[in-house]
Structure 1
Amino acid sequence: MRTLRRSIGWAAGLLLAAMTLLIIWAGVRGKPQDLPWTPLDLGAPIGMATGRKLTGLDEDFAGCRALLDRAGVRYTTLPPRRDAPRCGYDDALRLTAGGARRIALSPADVGMACPVAAAMTMWEWDVVQPAAQRTFGSPVIEIAHYGSYNCRRIAGRDVRNWSEHATADALDIAGFRLADGTRITVARDWRDGGAKAAFLHKVRDGACRLFATTLSPDYNAAHADHLHLDQASRGSIGWRACR
């Protein structure tokens, strides 16, 4: 028993020390979003805990919408939908032009789960636009995509697990259009070795900090023409996939 109590004491001490270091580190960096217990703010710089907080919105539709409201993001909520036992959504919305968002989606009528919309907002603000300005000196005005909701299994196969698209918890990004007319597509530019490829890799890497899953052409041939971004809920472990 004495050994057990000593072990518990050591574990508690290590946990306290780790929490103290995390608080100090967050204070030094000036990023409250490094701390898992601080409220999520879509307008705050991305921190170490931001991705987990965004994924956690899966169970809080009202809280997710409130975050979008506070950030000045315009949207239209969609009615719940059920197409099959494992297909449908309760928390989907459609981002609309104007307000705090300056990037249009093409097609514009795409609906997505609220946690995806919240992560998309931060991705546009903190990753996509800065990368475009640094790389090309011109902002992104449009993001092309292949859609969100689709009642199907992974890779469209009947024998595999259900896709996050089946609950509108995913969005597939095809490319970007800049204000100066430049067009960048995943299919054509991912491996060209130039500025467009560098930009695409930067926005992929940035997405990995915000989405539960980020898959690119580096993952497999099924993703040769798009970036798959989703907010899969993986329980208390919350591991993230980035490739």
Structure 2
Amino acid sequence: METLHTVLGPLSFGQGGWGDDLLKGALLTLQLALCSMIVGLLLGLLLAGAKLSSSHLLRWPASAYTLFIRGVPEFLILLIVFFGSDRLLNWAATSLGLEAGYEVPKFLAAVIGLSIIFAAYACEIFRGAYLAVPTGQIEAGAAIGLTARQVFFRIRFPQLWRFAIPGLGNLWMVVLKDTSLAAVIALNELLRVAKLGGETETNPLLFFTAAGVIYLLMTSISDVGRASLEARARRGVAGA
């Protein structure tokens, strides 16, 4: 028991322990992932609408955006956003005759970077879900006199979410783990706290293992939630 206490001591709560810091890091990780998901979903919907548009002026930029984001390392995108947002903000301030020296908050920069990444993949999920709705149902809605707006909100949109939930659930898992990339900009999310704790206590294996367990717990709970949402969305569907 004495040996076990010696090994797990640094992970204890209260003064001298890192348990509180790890939980705070996990909470920040969840907040970062949730904010990135909300912004990314909204941007992804707009991009999907643009890619489905008949206008080249909308479709081509949206296609170029998704091609660029999916072809560039996510780590690099986060660095570009972090350093580029500072320069853009100071350039705007200088243009308005204000003093430079502003810094974009690290959390905001991380949300923007992850949202940009999330949106590119969410766009393809929404686009595929939109096209997955049977055309016969759309034609039937128009045949009984529904307007295009009514067809969209009563027939296509509810089913779009049903088709999109599995892909979005998997994408949430990816974003939840990708929050660890924010450690590079010194944001105290879970992985950075584990790194700092491991270096301070000269026991990195213990802290990284603890972080891995917390990540596993969060993703496991998320997977249960995804399965529940998917089952709820498929209620009343034949063969579900």
Range into which the TM-score falls when normalised by the shorter chain: under 0.3
Larger radius of gyration between Structure 1 and Structure 2 = 2
What's the TM-score, normalizing by structure 1? Answer: 0.25
Larger RCO, structure (CA 8 Å, separation 6 or more): 2
| Larger helix percent | 2
